[in-house]
Amino acid sequence: MEFEDLIEKQLSAHTLFEGRVINLRVDDVLLPNGKTSSREYVEHRGGAAILAVDDGGYIHLVRQFRYPYREAILEIPAGKLEKGEAPEIAAARELQEETGLVAETVEPYGVIYPSPGYTNERLYIFKASGIAKDVAHPDEDEFLNLVRIPFADALDMVLSGQIKDAKTCFAILKFANERK
Amino acid sequence: MEFEDLIEKQLSAHTLFEGRVINLRVDDVLLPNGKTSSREYVEHRGGAAILAVDDGGYIHLVRQFRYPYREAILEIPAGKLEKGEAPEIAAARELQEETGLVAETVEPYGVIYPSPGYTNERLYIFKASGIAKDVAHPDEDEFLNLVRIPFADALDMVLSGQIKDAKTCFAILKFANERK
């Protein structure tokens, strides 16, 4: 295996909490220097998110209250994977549920690790094209506002710090990079 | 308050775990439609990370084993805030500890929310300039490899998916955007 000098080996595994969204794990590990330590982290099934810029150059965002920050923030449409659900199916589903948009094509646009020190979540990002309007139907306990703005404005909001969500920053900055 | 139609109000708060790095909270909340639900999330003190591109155009990265993924990945130098520590102090400290570099100036480069559905971590990103070599001294239970590569190669690694860490993608894509 690569990077043998960095590897931490699992000595024991403990699940302290199993929730609807996350599990909490605390494992004992063997460090590269032969000492032991513990690692606290979140188990998460993974999430899917989708960049939707329409033919008019507008990006479709959702504003949602994020309880951990006690703040309503702007994000690209996203959600966690259902059990056994393929990420691209989840991305198209969240786009439809949250914004009422359907896409002709949904292509992979990167996978990011949101905070690798303490969560194993993989965020699968997709890019939609050929977007048409259908009907939105958010989850029962999901409340959101739809926000459709010129892509250039969204990029400005990332650069000025008004858009803070990591996956949204990633998708917008990557798309801006491609267009230059 | 803004976005009154989206706000979830705390009804009760429960700390289920207090760890070295994270705490686990499960709160009961009142939803905008008058129903109740619960929110599981991680409390985190916040992290600081620093983009260091030297005068030769090389970016300084660290490769580190991230136990939640069982994988060694590339990241910009980063770490969690010490109690009461200002983010810019933490960023300069992590740069020095992990890479042995000192910077003439450390300027704010954005704040990102890594996964706003279930963590309240704020990641404070900084940009170093006027970089000079000092001596590295990682934490006792921290093992890492230093990686110094041309900035253009790091950008390619973000675009091709070889660099996956969210804060690192953010800093590299933002810097690429500025340079065009």
**pLDDT tens string A8-66:** 999 999 999 999 999 999 999 999 999 999 999 999 999 999 999 999 999 999 999 99
Q: Which of B56, B147, B150, B152 is nearest to B98 (CA)?
A: B147
Contacts of B68 in chain A (CB under 8 A): 39, 41-42, 116-120
Please report how many Cα atoms fall inside a 13 Å half-sphere around the Cα of residue A12, on the Cβ side: 7
Dihedral angle of Cα A162, A165, A168, A173, to the nearest 10 degrees: 60
Q: Are residues A31 and A95 in the same domain?
A: no
Together in a domain, A24 and A52 = no
Q: Domain total for chain A?
A: 2
- Contact assessment for residue A125 and residue A50, using Cβ atoms and an 8 Å cutoff: yes
Q: What mean pLDDT is predicted for residues B79-105?
A: 96
**Is B121 within 8 Å of chain A by CB?**
yes
Question: Does residue A59 share a domain with residue A25?
Answer: no
Residue B1: is its pLDDT beyond 70?
no
Distance from C-alpha of A149 to C-alpha of A106, rounded to nearest angstrom: 21
For A:32-51, CB contacts with B below 8 A are 32-33, 35, 37-42, 44, 47
Lowest mean pLDDT among A45-59, A164-178, B136-150, B156-170: B136-150
Confidence bin at B116 (pLDDT 50/70/90)? very high
User: Is A140 an active-site residue?
Assistant: yes
Burial of A178 (0-12, 13-18, 19+ CB in 10 A): exposed
**Per-residue pLDDT, A134:** 75
How far apart, in whole angstroms, are the C-alpha atoms of residue A124 and residue A114? 11
Query: Is the CB of residue A145 less than 8 Å away from at least one CB of chain B?
Result: yes
Residue of A nearest to B180 (CA): A180
Same domain, yes or no: A73 and A30:
no
Report residue B99's pLDDT band, with 50, 70 and 90 as the boundaries: very high
The residue-averaged pLDDT of B51-63 equals: 96
List the CATH number of the domain containing A92: 3.90.79.10
Same domain, residue pair B84 and B171: yes
Minimal Cβ distance to A118: which of B68, B117, B174: B68
Instruction: Give this prediction's pTM.
Output: 0.96
Per-residue pLDDT at B141: 72
Interface test with A, best of B21, B112, B168 (most A CBs within 10 A): B112
Shared-domain flag, residues B55 and B37: no
Same domain, B104 and B152: yes
Q: Are B165 and B75 in contact (CB under 8 A)?
A: yes
pLDDT at position A122 over 60 = yes
Range of the domain at B14: 4-43
Region A86-93: what's the mean pLDDT?
98
Question: Which residues are CB-contacts of B119 (< 8 A; sequence separation ≥ 6)?
Answer: A42, A68, A114, A115, A119, B22, B41, B42, B44
Burial class (CB in 10 A: 0-12, 13-18, 19+), B168: buried
Q: Are B29 and B23 in contact (CB under 8 A)?
A: no
> At residue A157, does pLDDT exceed 70?
yes
CA distance to partner chain A, nearest, from residue B90 (Å): 16
Residues B96 and B54 in one domain: yes
> Is the domain of A34 the same as that of A59?
no
Are A75 and A139 in a shared domain?
yes
Helix (H, G, I), strand (E, B) or coil at B2: coil
A66 vs A137, more confident: A66
State the pLDDT at residue A99.
94
The pLDDT of residue A136 is above 90: no
pLDDT recorded at residue A88 = 98
Residues B37 and B76 in one domain: no
B112/A164 touch (CB, cutoff 8 Å), yes or no: yes
Partner A contacted by B80 (CB < 8 A): yes
User: Residue A166 class from Cβ within 10 Å (0-12 exposed, 13-18 middle, 19+ buried)?
Assistant: buried
Residue type, B70: R
Q: What are residue B61's DSSP bridge partners? A: B147
Examine the domain organization and report whether A58 and A144 are in the same domain: yes
